[in-house]
Homo-oligomer: A and B are copies of this chain.
Amino acid sequence: MKILQMKVGKTGPLCIGLDTDPAYIPDCVKKDFKSPQEAVLQYNTKIIEATKDIVACYKVQIAYYEAQGIKGLEVYSKTLKKIKQEGALSIADIKRGDIAATAKAYSQAHFSGDFEADIVTLNPYMGFETLLPWKRYWEQENMQKGAFILLHTSNPGRCDIECLPTCDNSTVFCKVADFLNNYYAQQKEQNKEYCCPQLGAVVGCTNYDEARFFRDLCPNIFFLIPGYGVQGGDARTAAILLQNAGGVVNSSRGILLAWQKDEGLLQKEKSGNLLLEDMVCACKNKVLQDTKMILKEKETL
């Protein structure tokens, strides 16, 4: 996670969410490729090449690739390899959460081989023991792996379980926060130079007050911040969450579909002349614009 934290210092906090549904690519562009999967791979590839120096990392949502079966997962694998090849960092948004030998198998799946990523997202519902098999990857020397644990997501359904008040005047998410804060404290005790734990947290970009609360709850924890842009989170809320240990702000559809906000490109699509390059160019401009807006808000805090 330290490498990602350092990268943010150079590029700004934006993370591109490569949740690339084939439906996001219009037919007039898709027709130049031998399959929808090939179009997705080329879109991902061109985005990575165009933005690797202006974003902190790429979050690849595996669900969109699983939905396309084996061929989709080949694209997922090639996308992760491309990110690595370009010297960039990948977050595999897999939200896995299982125990013992099964968790070990998942950690092997996503920290090595075809689906190797730098960082993963994990679901803590079955208990904190589910995280142990993943830790061996970053506790080994020279392994720069890490994981973001679901702490407080941006969807309305977070009230059902994550936000339940517990009988000790706490909440379910506070138990996850306690676990993360204790992990930080333990690591810090062992290493005085310690700055950023390999376990970060997913904290949705919901509203100003919640952002303030979560930043204060986990000052030393690096955040993955979804919900920016299309899902309603604004730059000021994101900026709050980026204080202290910092974090990365994910934007998926806001960037992948940025071309749809450009009247000229919509016209080109209507007349069947839209190019993949036009779409990539719109992505890049949107990244620059979002980064500028978030950093500006951060300065005013």
Q: Establish whether residues A157 and B99, one from each chain, have CB atoms under 8 Å apart when the complex forms.
A: yes
Cβ-closest chain B residue relative to A153: B126
Q: Is A124 an interface residue (CB 8 A)?
A: yes
Nearest CB of B to A297, in Å: 26
Residues of chain B lying within 8 A (CB to CB) of residue A87? none
B66 contacts A109, CB within 8 Å? yes
For this chain, the copies found in one complex come to 2
With beta carbons under 8 angstroms apart, the residue of B63, B102, B123, B166 that contacts A106 is B63
Q: Within 8 Å CB of A109, what residues of B? A: 63, 66-69
- Give the complex CA separation of A240 and B129 in angstroms: 28
Secondary structure of the A contact surface, majority rule: helix
**A109 → B minimal CB distance (Å):** 4
A101 within 8 Å of B by Cβ?
yes
Min Cβ gap A294→B in Å is 23
Say yes or no: B63 contacts A157, CB within 8 Å: no
Determine whether the beta carbon of B125 is less than 8 Å from that of A124: yes
The contact string, 1 if C-beta is below 8 Å from chain B, for chain A 67-108, is: 111100110010000000000000000011111111101101
In the complex with contacts A113-B69, A156-B127, A105-B175 CB distance below 8 A:
no
Residues of chain B with a CB closer than 8 A to A21's CB: 101, 105
- Chain B neighbourhood of A263, CB < 8 A: none
Give every chain B residue within 8 A of A68 (Cβ-Cβ). Answer: 109, 113
User: B67, A74: Cβ atoms under 8 Å?
Assistant: no
> Which of B108, B130, B161 lies in contact with A157, CB distance below 8 A?
B130
User: Is A208 interfacial (CB-CB < 8 Å)?
Assistant: no
Alpha-carbon separation in the docked complex, A114 to B68 (Å): 8
Question: A: which residues have CB within 8 A of B?
Answer: 19, 21, 61, 63-64, 66-70, 73-74, 77, 95-103, 105-106, 108-110, 113-115, 123-130, 150, 153, 155-162, 164-167, 169, 172, 175-176, 179
